[in-house]
Amino acid sequence: MKIIITGAGGFVGQELARVFAADHHIISLTHKALDITDRETVRAYVNDKRPDVIINCAVLGVDVCEAHPALAEAVNVAGPTLLAEAAAEIDAEIMHLSTNYVFDGDRELGAYYTANDEALPINKYGETKLAGERAVLAGAPKSYVVRTSWVFGPGKDNFFRSAARSLVTQQPVRAVNDLWASVTYVSDLVARISDILALRRYGTYQVVNDGCCSHFDFAVELARQLNVDASTLVEGISDATAKRLARRPRNTPMRCLLSAELGLSPMRSWQVAAADFLRQLGG
């Protein structure tokens, strides 16, 4: 297939482009190469390249959205809207990446959110991501939304990678212990996106590794697998201590009804995926 990836300079976009290049004709567009909020350029580009699929990985991050709400609307809502319109115009498919932060996270521990649950975001990022999802589903008949959550892998200097790097060298890690969600190994996300595109069943998917954890639980598990002492190296802190601009939903693990209905195999547990992550970092 000919696939345009937007936001391809980011974490997920880069990994998708790298892996998909083996089987597809990939047009990998960084922010500099295509600004998804530029209506005329988006339209002209999509019409000219005529891809089979557009995968939108462009996004404005959680705290930046809170600080710059108008930019959040532009990147997370107007951009996907334009991409969906452009896809519909040439009868292409569009896949839009989204997030567990569309949910409020107020459920009791042990509960999971499915795509049938009401999305009630509590921050600007979640609000705009939800609006972007709706715009894509309404704007293009051949549309997929893929919600994912707390993505880890070697390609981004986020909490997961810095915790792993620190623990490998027995450096201390501070980790939030009162927010929980599903985590997702980027390789597993990309593999599942490939499965979904092959089935061509449009709708909303929730692609995450099995299970649920806090950043603290994740760091403790890494320490266990690395055989280093979590009790001295991993310090639990509260979300309030982390002092971030946007509120985070408290408990947002997800499961995917559509994957189960389509007979896709259950995603492996986050602990097994974390072992692969450590091997990949070590190698």
- Residues 64-93 close enough to bind ligand NAP by CB under 6 A: 75, 79
Secondary structure (H, E, C), 162-176: HHHHHHHCCCCEEEE
Angstrom distance (rounded) from CA 219 to CA 222: 5
Contact call for residue 6 and ligand NAP (CB under 6 A)? yes
Contacts of 241 (CB under 8 A, 6+ apart): 176
Q: Which is nearer to ligand NAP, 150 or 202 (CB)?
A: 150
Q: Which is nearer to ligand NAP, 155 or 236 (CB)?
A: 155
Chosen residue from 46, 53, 97, 173 binding ligand NAP by CB under 6 A: 97
Contact call for residue 35 and ligand NAP (CB under 6 A)? yes
Sign of CA dihedral 104, 106, 110, 116: negative
Contact call for residue 179 and ligand NAP (CB under 6 A)? no
Contact call for residue 190 and ligand NAP (CB under 6 A)? no
The b-or-e profile of 166-183 (16+ CB within 10 A means b, else e) is bbeeeeebbbbbbbbbbb
The nearest distance, CB 100 to ligand NAP, in angstroms, is: 6
Q: Please name the residue that has the structure tokens 């996004």.
A: 59
The nearest distance, CB 72 to ligand NAP, in angstroms, is: 10
First to last CA, the chain: 31
Sign of CA dihedral 159, 164, 166, 172: positive
- Is residue 106 within 8 A of residue 126, CB to CB? The reply is no
Q: Which is nearer to ligand NAP, 233 or 273 (CB)?
A: 273
Residue 258 has which token pair?
A: 């559509």
Contact call for residue 123 and ligand NAP (CB under 6 A)? no
Strands (E), 168-232: 173-176, 180-181, 184-185, 203-206
Chosen residue from 7, 105, 139, 253 binding ligand NAP by CB under 6 A: 7
- Residues 141-170 close enough to bind ligand NAP by CB under 6 A: 148-151, 156
Q: Which is nearer to ligand NAP, 150 or 205 (CB)?
A: 150
CA 283 to chain centre: 24
Contact call for residue 42 and ligand NAP (CB under 6 A)? no
Contact call for residue 57 and ligand NAP (CB under 6 A)? yes
Catalytic, out of 125, 144, 202, 205: 125
For ligand NAP, the nearest residue by Cβ is: 10
Of the listed pieces 33-41, 42-50, 110-118, 237-245, which binds ligand NAP according to CB under 6 A?
Answer: 33-41
Angstrom distance (rounded) from CA 40 to CA 86: 10
- 202 catalytic per annotation: no
Binding stretches for ligand NAP (CB under 6 A): 6-7, 9-13, 31, 35-37, 57-61, 75, 79, 97-99, 129, 148-151, 156
